[in-house]
Amino acid sequence: MAEITVTTVDEYEPQRYDAVTFRERVVVCVRSDAETVRLVPLDKVNSVDGPPELFLSDTEIPESFYGGGEYGFVDADEFPAVEQHLEEVGREEY
Rounded CA-CA distance 84/53 in Å is 17
Per-residue pLDDT, 1: 57
pLDDT along the chain (94 residues), means of 10: 88 93 95 88 95 92 92 92 88 65
Per-residue pLDDT, 71: 96
Per-residue pLDDT, 49: 95
DSSP string, 65-82: TTT--SEEEE-GGG-HHH
Buried b (16+ CB within 10 A) or exposed e, 39-58: ebeeeebeebebeeebebee
Per-residue pLDDT, 37: 94
Domain boundaries defined on the chain: 4-91
